[in-house]
Structure 1
C-alpha cells in the first residue's frame, strides 16, 4: 500500500492520495481562474453561460473529493510521511496550519458556492454531470445570495493564498535543499 522508506529513498504518500492531491490542485486552480473570468464578463456573455454550470458541477466534485481526501487521511493516518525532522518548528507549524486551512477551505468554499446558487432567486439550479440538478435546500433570497456570494469569493481568495503558500514552501525547500532532508516534494510525486 505504501512505499517503505529506506536510506536512499524516503517514504511517499500512498499513490491514491498523490493522484487525488494533483487532481484537486488542478481543479481548484481551474475553478478559481474560471470564477475570475466569469465574474468579469457581461451577464449574458455566451462563454460565461457555458462556464457557470461547469464551475458549479466541478465545485461539487471538488467538495466530494475533499471528503474522500479526509477519509483517506483517516484510513492511512498511521503510514503517512511525517514532516522532516530537519524542518524548524515554525515551518512545521505553518505547514500544518496551511494544510488544515486548505482542507477546510476545499470543503467550505464549494458549500458556500452551493448556498449562493441555491439561494439565488430565479436561479438555474446546480447541475452535477449526469444528475440533472442537485437539490436546492435554501430559501430563495437576494440578501442570502449576496451574503453567500461574498463569503464564497473571500474563501476562494483565501484558498488561493493558502495554495500559493503551500507551493512556495515546497519550492523553497526544493531549491534550498536540492534533494536534502527538508525537500518534501518527492513525497507527493
Structure 2
C-alpha cells in the first residue's frame, strides 16, 4: 500500500497576491473600456468626458501597480518555483507567457501615455484629477504610430491573459491533480 503523499503548495506572498488580483481587475476593466470607448461615436459626450479620462487614470494606476509588483518580486528572497509536476512544455510556456505579460503590462501604458502626449487635440494626461506633464512633443504623425502600437499590444496582452487564465483553469479543473493546481499559489 502506498503511503499518502503530502502536497506542499507554495503560495506567493500576500502582497504579491493582492497586487496580482488588483492589477488583474484593473487591466481587464481597462481592456473592456478601451474596446468599448473606441467603438463609441464621437458625438457621445461621455466618450471624451468620462471614458478617456478614466481610461488614462486607470492605465497609469495599472502601470504603477505593475512597477510595484516587479519591485516586490525583485525584493522577495524566495518566490515559488515552477511546479515540477507540470510537463516541461507547460513550464516553458507558462514562463514565456508570464514574462511577455509583464513586458506588455509596462509597454502598453507607455504607448497610451505617448499616444495621449503626442496628440495635438489631447488635453493632457490626467491621473485622477492631476494633470501629468507630457514628455513628448505634439506630433500627430507620431500619435498614429503610438496609437497603432497601443492597440496592437493591448490585444496581444489580451491574448496572453486568456492563455494565462486558460492554463490556470486547465490545471485546476481538467488535470484533476492537486499537485498541478497552480491557481492555489495565487489564492
Match of 1:56 in 2: 56
Structure 1: gaps spanning 5 or more residues: 1-6
Match of 1:40 in 2: 39
Paired positions, count:
182
CA distances 1:156-176 after superposition (whole Å, capped 9, x unpaired): 000000000000000110012
Inter-partner Cα distance in structure 1 for 2:24 and 2:46: 24
Q: Does 1:25 align with 2:24?
A: yes
Inter-partner Cα distance in structure 2 for 1:138 and 1:144: 10
Match of 2:128 in 1: 129
Verify the 8 A CA contact 2:12 2:80 in the aligned structure 1.
Answer: yes
CA distances 1:80-119 after superposition (whole Å, capped 9, x unpaired): 1111111111111100000001111000000000000000
- Residue 122 (structure 1) shift: 2.5
- Residue 130 (structure 1) shift: 4.6
Inter-partner Cα distance in structure 2 for 1:64 and 1:83: 26
Match of 2:186 in 1: 188
Verify the 8 A CA contact 2:7 2:179 in the aligned structure 1.
Answer: no
Verify the 8 A CA contact 2:60 2:127 in the aligned structure 1.
Answer: yes
Using structure 2 for the length normalisation, give the TM-score. 0.93
Inter-partner Cα distance in structure 2 for 1:179 and 1:43: 51
Match of 1:4 in 2: none
Inter-partner Cα distance in structure 1 for 2:113 and 2:129: 17
Aligned residues: CA RMSD = 1.4
Inter-partner Cα distance in structure 2 for 1:130 and 1:42: 25
For 1:1-189, what aligned pairs fall within 5 Å after superposition? 7=6, 9-49=8-48, 50-76=50-76, 78-131=77-130, 133-189=131-187
CA distances 1:22-69 after superposition (whole Å, capped 9, x unpaired): 111111110010001111011131221211000001101111111101
Inter-partner Cα distance in structure 1 for 2:122 and 2:84: 52
Q: Tell me which stretches of 4 or more aligned residues in structure 1 moved more than 2 Å.
A: 176-179
For 1:68, what is the secondary structure of its paired residue? helix
Inter-partner Cα distance in structure 1 for 2:95 and 2:168: 13
